[in-house]
Structure 1
């Protein structure tokens, strides 16, 4: 029997629908330290192109998780209705294929960088030195950038943030250094990646033990001044980092498989969908990232209200790079899939406005240069506050235009706050 899920959307609107199967990840039961590890099991349920609604976990760099969120009930029926039988008649098959290929290639790239990170962390643990630490940090930066480019594939309960997806293990925030330090100090605590995954919780209160930000803390320390001597004197730090890199590779392997061509997987389900439902995933993923996640939950979290401590990647001090990488992922959805051409065929004026909007937003984000902490709670009227507010405005304006473009194609685009 298909399970029924009640999700609340907007102001008091409830939807009761059946949940379709999605790619699922199961972490094997934890074992005592020293017991032989077995590969974590990945189970998948055939995905049918049916309507389902799911609720993603809490979100944003300022709260547990990046992407998704309880404020966004995730809709997967994106077709707008019309009394005109000739409305929304277009061929978007090339764009659907282009989107599926982009997602597949982007997850494959993220997996490749995560694998490189795992190798670098293993080398650091085996032979701590200034060079091996520098190599591991560089590998983390590349893996982080590659992952952020996948964030435009959130917000529609796909393989990553749908029920059972690995999203909560990938990028949870905030990190409490005391929690990580206590796990390292407790010699009786297993650092098996399955155990760490089970310890990773959001509710009722966050206890973040996995993901890229925990690896960041392990490599840089709370003040960014960690040296390789720490890894030489505290082997469990390297063991912890190695376990998380192993888990990251595992989860990205599952996501890459979900979008790989030629398989009975989520990609096949998307390619078999009504075109507007399929393209609804592309539009909602990029529009919510551009119009809500980046401007409000990341940049805006340091402004409204002012928060001097808010920073996406505080340990590595690379927050300005994060914004650019996430935006680049959304930009690729619009320009690298053929969606830009589809919009231009529908509304030339709006297409030009969107293209200009992408350029404006990219320039605005580019002005948020290091040191990033000068954009945290800047004084009213200061150049830093004007720069941050300019980026927020450029991003939200662009998202409104993207929503309008989706609507012109008969696609429902839901951006919280708009």
Structure 2
């Protein structure tokens, strides 16, 4: 579907004009309808960027080099931009939350997939899959179960997620692709990301490597290439499925629009609050900060964590304002929570928007630290980096304050006891 179609005729808020010339009043129903338009637009962009990533991976595998690997890495980072903005849709929409883990689960025990430097490898205690190395073996044994992994199909790899009952066994998704493009980040809280060499994909006996050592056989690099190619194919398939579910006649869109508008508002606000509080402030920032743990960093192989956090925050703000900037540079606008709130309590809307401005400024400071000063998230959380720790803590505090404001917004809109997911964190 053309992105222009999203822009034309979907501005259900300010763009609708009543016969008397005054702007039509925004309704909860219109807000929920526009929310479904935004979901589709964001997933459509995630799909578009995943296809570009797939093209860059194909070029890299055809001709491994420093340049083609760098191009694939850049495409991976670009693909994260729309996807991270989609995560605000997760928690209120079960169809998304049940599906999300196969695309974005983390942290992962990377020894399930490929070779690791054991001197820098921390894995979940008791996880039998943590040293399985699927690429180096054509069978996988977990407990009493032995699985034929000789052919790395999308169905096989998807079925290996959480094998043996361990959530750390992540075989698919963005972070598995990230690991195969960057390799382990062996720098701890020091400067630098993963440095997997392009030679890990050279499919000749004398060229194929496992990092700094010769692999001894091109079969290893052929398997690694097959794994990466399969992950990319699977990612496109999964995003295609979700994009279809939220298209104009999609089942997920129809189901949400069939609910009472107040229930729809709860879905929207619960997703925003849960990402803001339990997931982003808690799981993705607080856990890593308290433990000074790079293993709990979100994009730990690429050191792209600052961008992932920023776009999570932007996704929440997008929904409140009813605006989304597509990867094509168009801006989708429509009936918004902001308009609903302002109509009931202009001061509350002003406070909510101030909270968003503050949280985005704090997240932008983390981006600036990485992009302008060369001090990435994994360095900011180091035990001896007091200034960095404070920067992360301030971002967490701003997200907590933002969530409290969202609870007031929910109350004003008739959504009682929002209770966003805390992921068992206290703030």
Q: What is the TM-score of this pair, normalised by structure 1?
A: 0.74
Partner in structure 1 of residue 234 of structure 2: 247
Q: 2:318 aligns with which of 332, 349, 354?
A: 332
CA distance in 2, matches of 1:309, 1:252: 27
State the secondary structure of the residue aligned to 1:138. helix
CA gap 1:103/1:157 in 2 versus in 1, 3 angstroms: closer
Please give the alpha-carbon distance, in whole angstroms, between the structure 2 residues aligned to 1:384 and 1:168: 30
| CA shift for structure 1 position 235 | 2.1
**Change in CA separation of 1:275 and 1:323 when aligned onto 2, cut-off 3 Å:** same
Distance in 2 (alpha carbons) for counterparts of 1:295 and 1:260: 31
Q: Distance in 1 between matches of 2:164 and 2:405?
A: 36
Residues in 2 aligned to 1:203 and 1:306: alpha-carbon distance in whole angstroms: 28
Q: How many residues align?
A: 325
Number of the residue aligned with 2:402: 398
- Retained in 2: the 8 A contact 1:378–1:384? no
Checking the alignment, whether the CA contact within 8 Å between 2:381 and 2:392 is kept in structure 1 is no
| Distance in structure 1 (CA, Å) of the matches to 2:228 and 2:293 | 29
* Structure 1 residues 202 and 152: CA distance shift in structure 2, 3 A: farther
Q: 1:113-153 deviations in whole A, cap 9, x for unaligned?
A: 11111121122112212222112111111112221111000
Sort the Cα spacing of 1:365 and 1:203 in 2 relative to 1 into closer, same or farther, 3 A. farther
**Aligned pairs (5 A) from 1:8-23:** none
| Cα contact 2:271–2:420 (8 A) shared by 1 | no
Instruction: After TM superposition, give the deviation of residue 306 of structure 1 in Å.
Output: 4.0
Q: Which structure has the larger Rg over C-alpha atoms?
A: 2
When structure 1 is superposed on structure 2, of 315-324 and 200-209 the one drifting more is: 200-209
List per-residue Cα deviations over 1:138-197 (Å, max 9, x = no partner). 1111112221111000112432224xxx22211111222211111111146221111011
Alignment match, 1:373: 378
1:100 alignment partner in structure 2? 36
- The whole-number CA distance in structure 2 between the counterparts of 1:140 and 1:202 is 26
Equivalence for 1:356: 354
- CA deviations 1:351-390 (Å, max 9, x no partner) are 111110001001111122322112224348x222221111
Equivalent residue for 1:199? 160
Shift in Å, 1:335: 0.6
* Pairwise CA RMSD: 1.9
Describe the SS at the equivalent of 2:165. Answer: coil
Give 5+ residue unaligned stretches, structure 2: 1-24, 115-132, 140-148, 186-193, 203-207, 209-220, 323-334, 371-375
> Is the 1:156–1:285 Cα contact (8 Å) retained in structure 2?
yes
Q: Distance in 1 between matches of 2:342 and 2:199?
A: 57
Q: Distance in 2 between matches of 1:161 and 1:408?
A: 27
**Corresponding residue number in structure 2 for 1:71:** none
Q: Secondary structure at the match of 1:300?
A: helix
Closer/same/farther in 2, CA of residues 306 and 317 from structure 1, 3 Å limit: closer
Contact 1:344 1:351 in 2 (8 A): yes
1:229 matched to 2:199: yes
1:66-145 equivalences under 5 Å are 91-145=27-81
Q: Find the counterpart in structure 2 of residue 150 from structure 1.
A: 86
**Alpha carbons of 1:202 and 1:286: their partners in 2 closer, same or farther (altered >3 Å)?**
farther
Instruction: Mark the runs of 5 or more structure 1 residues left unpaired by the alignment.
Output: 1-88
1:90-135 CA-to-partner distances (Å, cap 9, x unmatched) read 8312211210110110010001111111121122112212222112
Instruction: Supply the distance in 2 between the matched residues of 1:90 and 1:331 (Cα, whole angstroms).
Output: 18
